[in-house]
Amino acid sequence: MATSDGHVLIDSSLGTEAMVACSRLEEVGGSIHWHAELASRLRVPTEFRLLNPPGYRAAQNVKVGLGDPINEMKSITNFLAAGPTGRTPLCAQIREVHQEISSISDDLRRTGKKALVVIASDGAATDGSVSEALRPFQRLPVWIVIKLCTDDNDIIDYWNKVDEDLELDLDVLDDLSGEAAEVVENNPWLNYGVNLHKLREWGTTRKEFDR
């Protein structure tokens, strides 16, 4: 996550916006903060998880959308400041999330809703096959977004292969500039901007917004 192949959009001194390089952690941290604030203000129950126990006595899991937005965002700030540690035990976390969604799956189906699972990653799992860990989600009412924060083509190919292996409602997203380049290649008439990208990160299931 410390590798500097991430990208963020900033306002320049000339009043225009520009993509600048940053660490992978800064890229995903900015996205998490934006989505946490939106979920908190809209009262959308959302849980954020770090793969490994963080330092500085920070919480490994933080929930928003349930209480006071100011206090919830303080928790998110502390959560992000702790930073990642250790390896990438994605499969263990995926299995835990599967259990949580399974416990409410009947309620989701009854109300016509889906749970959203967003996996923000810059690498491959170090504790098994992600495809096998995700496969049980095929029986649940879920939508899955893979948010990549790296320019490493091997990692991008790894996650695209996961997408190909599974019959899941799943969207693999690069950063804003990467997605814009792919979208414009096939739809040169479309101005792919920040709002559309954030909507896809948020988990829209409208196929019109998928390439």
Same structural domain, 67 and 119: no
Structural domain total, the chain: 2
CA–CA distances in Å: residue 67 to residues 58, 64, 73, 191, 196: 19, 7, 10, 37, 28
Report which DSSP code applies to 139.
Answer: G
79-104: per-residue pLDDT in tens? 888 766 667 788 999 999 999 999 99
Complete DSSP assignment for 13-31: TTS-EEEEEE-HHHHHHHH
Q: Are residues 38 and 107 in the same domain?
A: no
Is 107 in the same domain as 149?
A: yes
Pair 174, 107 in one domain? yes
130: pLDDT strictly greater than 80: yes
Taking the alpha carbons at both ends of the chain, their separation in whole angstroms is 27
Is residue 76 domain-shared with residue 120, that is, in the same domain? no
DSSP 189: T
In the DSSP assignment, the letter for residue 208 is: G
Q: Do 11 and 67 share a structural domain? A: yes
In terms of pLDDT, which residue wins out, 170 or 107?
Answer: 107
Q: What would the pLDDT profile of 171-205 be if each residue is shown by its tens digit?
A: 888 877 778 888 888 888 888 888 888 888 888 76
Q: Among 86, 112, 131, which residue terminates a domain?
A: 86
- Claim to verify: residue 99 and residue 77 sit in the same structural domain: no
What are the two backbone dihedrals, phi and then psi, of residue 210, each rounded to the nearest 5 degrees? -95, 140
Q: Which residues contact 108 (CB under 8 A, 6 or more apart)?
A: 101, 114, 115, 140, 141
- The answer to whether residue 117 scores a pLDDT higher than 90 is yes
pLDDT digits (tens, 9 = 90+) for 33-52: 888 999 999 999 999 988 87
End residue of a domain, out of 62, 86, 110: 86
- pLDDT value at residue 15: 54
Are 102 and 202 within one domain? yes
Contact 17, 9 (CB under 8 A): yes
Q: Phi and psi dihedrals of 78, rounded to 5?
A: -65, -40
Three-class DSSP category at 113: coil
Q: Tell me which residue range forms the domain holding 40.
A: 1-86
Q: What is the CB neighbour count within 10 angstroms for residue 51?
A: 21
> Contact at 8 Å (CB) between 23 and 6?
yes
Cross-strand pairs, 171: 145
Closest CA to 100 of 116, 120, 87, 80: 116
Q: How much is the pLDDT for 93?
A: 92
pLDDT tens-digit readout, 133-168: 999 999 999 999 988 877 677 888 888 888 888 878
Phi/psi of residue 50, nearest 5 degrees: -95, 145
Q: Is pTM beyond 0.95 here? A: no
pLDDT band at 17 (very low <50, low <70, confident <90, very high): low
| Residue 202, SS3 per DSSP | helix
Within 10 A of 27 (CB to CB), how many other CB atoms are there?
25
